[in-house]
Chain A
Amino acid sequence: MIRPIRRRLLLAVAGFGTLAAASILLAPLAGSTSIDLRRAFDTSLPFVENVDAQIFFVARLPRTLAGALVGAALAAAGVVFQGLLRNPLATPFTLGVSAGAALGAMLVITSGWTFGWAGLPAIPIASFAGSVGAVTIVYALARARHGGLSTNVLLLAGVTLNAFFSALILFVQFFADYADLYRMLRWLVGDLDVASYQPILTAVPLLAVAFGVFAWLARPLNLLSLGVDGAETHGIDVRRAQRAAFFSASLATGAAVSIAGPIGFVGIIIPHLVRLIVGADHRVVLPSAALFGAAFLVGCDVLARTLMPPVEVPVGVITAILGGPFFLWLLVRRA
């Protein structure tokens, strides 16, 4: 007999929550340099002189927190996009959000703009603006019929936009000079080294909104799995749920990509792994995926910075190396 949902939810949150908490607490202890923890927390030393404290609180802690937020956002957004598109192969990047973000970032890198705003540097702002642009276009395209939101058209619009923006990105890259090109390529593999709490503080309100909507979406996503016809007659406003899913997941993805670049595979490995463990009910899958995603990306980041010191392997490469074979295994298993 399968346990009732409340108990499953509590168990899942407790389990994955412990994992996430442990990873956040332990990750700043690891790094390419060895530091003296007691010294790092020694408040008698002035902060500016305390190199150990600087490494812990300026280099490691912000990137751990950023990793947790980005991992949670991408994993949860992956779950929501999969529910919206009724397709377990959907990722947070399927509908063009990251292509728009990438185009925004590329344009700023190649144009050499250095404007900042509210303490934020140019690239995150441009990448978020780019994802907003992409999302708007995809939604406008998908909405063109009957005012509804056909998932088929959404998928087509997203894939088309991805292709179009990728072509534009190639275009921009082709005319960039060597140094800019190198910077662009490095942005594309993702980087959690934020070295500042500012990007995190800016992203938190956006992610809070997104996660709030996710909480409301859990039951509607279950119903959407029945198919649009099935969902309608269970008393939910399907269009409203689809819109909410689309925009909230895009918001979470856009915020995550603007912090750390488009880190792949988190948005697809975690939802699948979580479903294998807790079942398909979105009320359990969503919080579990967020917590597990946080732990996973923080773990990947520790690997990224301790594998080949002093050089750092881009975290997107780590998630790809872990994710690629996993994905193949998934496909084989389903076949």
Chain B
Amino acid sequence: MSRRPPAAGRRPLGAVVACAIAIGVIAAQDRPARIISLIPAVTEMLFAIGAGERVVAVSSFDDYPPQVRQLERVGALLDPDLERILALKPDLVVVYASQSDLQRQLGRAGVPTYIYKHAGLAGVVTTLRDLGARTGHQEGAARAIQEIERGMEDVRRRVAGRPKPRTMLVFGREALAIRGVYASGGVGFLHEMLVAAGGENLFADVPREAIQATSELILARAPDVILELRAGEIPQSQLQDEIDTWRRLASLPAVRSNRIYFITDPRTVVPGPRVAQGTELIARALHPEAFR
């Protein structure tokens, strides 16, 4: 925001000062100085666009970038700590769309909020842009978006023309059992990452973000590749046990050709500025030859 040069002729000093203060107040509102983010993906975005220094508190589950470890925690989706949030005197709080109670309470307290809606890859770009506008870091946002688009384009280029393996993208399963298997349906950013990475989603026809896949369903659909996304490291000894668990469904092409992969990198599960890197990780599992 640039100041207009003073008009020709004499102006009362008070008016100039008043103008300056008004402009400064408006500018301050455009640039919130104390931001609280309840969504880890959004926290990553804030840091990526350059607003990281203004973040004063994050959710209980935040982990990246490393700076957040120093920050205060104020709960998460189910247990936001209103008192602590208010005590930190934020001027912008990023909340989930479903946290209607919290939104109401913050509204009553006069604290501005940004409502985050969880969506697909396009949603990541939109949110980045919104945050850029809201925090006055439009350039930072544009840069982050560009980086994502470049990364995604790079992946798409590499896997273009290669046969797409029918892939089951599993993001949840009971340990050591084929029970409670949750796979990505044909909607949502996991699905979009998979498609961008050159895979065909086994459950592309399911119009939901997640499907609990029964053993019969998995056997019937016969995936070529099983990709399991896990949080946290898996010790080597257990890894083999987990792969062996899938052997119970012996007829799966994924089992017979030994294409069962575990990815424990959080970049694959956070719809934030690093999605392109997450997509690349998936692509490397599906099309290793494309990355030599």
Contact = CB atoms under 8 A, between A and B. Distances in A.
Whether A and B touch (Cβ < 8 Å) is answered with yes
Interface of A: 31-33, 47-51, 53-55, 58-60, 112-114, 116, 121-123, 174-175, 177-179, 181-183, 186-187, 191, 193-196, 305, 310-312
B128 to A, nearest CB: 23
B215 interface: yes
B174 A123 contact: yes
A56 to B, nearest CB: 9
Contacts of A53: 251
B220 A55 contact: yes
Interface string B189-220: 00000000000000000100001101111011
Given A60-B216, A114-B238, A179-B172, A54 B251 contact: yes
Contact of B216 (A50, A174, A305): A305
A54 B179 contact: no
A33 B216 contact: yes
A58 B220 CA distance: 12
Interface stretch (B15-23, B74-82, B85-93): B74-82
Interface string B116-143: 0000000000000000000000000000
Contacts of B232: 112
B151 to A, nearest CB: 26
B290 interface: no
Contacts of A122: 175-176
A54 B79 contact: no
Given A51-B251, A58-B248, A178-B78, A194 B219 contact: no
The interface residues of chain B, by DSSP majority, are classed as: loop
B241 interface: yes
Given A122-B175, A196-B248, A312-B212, A32 B217 contact: yes
B180 A191 contact: yes
26 contacts: A32-B214, A47-B250, A47-B251, A50-B251, A51-B251, A54-B249, A54-B251, A58-B219, A59-B214, A114-B176, A116-B176, A116-B241, A121-B174, A121-B176, A122-B175, A123-B179, A179-B171, A179-B172, A186-B212, A187-B180, A191-B179, A194-B179, A310-B206, A310-B211, A311-B211, A312-B212
Nearest to B205: A310
Contacts of B211: 310-311
B219 A55 contact: yes
B222 interface: yes
B61 interface: yes
A196 B178 contact: yes
Nearest to A34: B220
Interface in B51-91: 61, 76-79
A305 B214 CA distance: 9
A308 to B, nearest CB: 12
A183 B241 CA distance: 21
Given A122-B175, A123-B175, 8 more contacts: A32-B220, A33-B220, A47-B251, A53-B251, A114-B238, A174-B78, A193-B178, A312-B214
B157 interface: no
Contact of A183 (B177, B180, B217, B220): B180
Nearest to B213: A310
B104 interface: no
B150 interface: no
Contacts of B61: 177
A50 B250 CA distance: 9
B168 to A, nearest CB: 13
Contacts of A116: 175-176, 241
B219 A59 contact: yes
Given A114-B238, A116-B241, A196-B248, A55 B176 contact: no
A33 B217 contact: yes
A262 B77 CA distance: 28
B176 to A, nearest CB: 4
A54 B172 contact: no
A50 B220 CA distance: 11
Contacts of A60: 216
A54 B217 CA distance: 11
A177 B76 contact: yes
Contact of A54 (B78, B177, B212, B219): B219
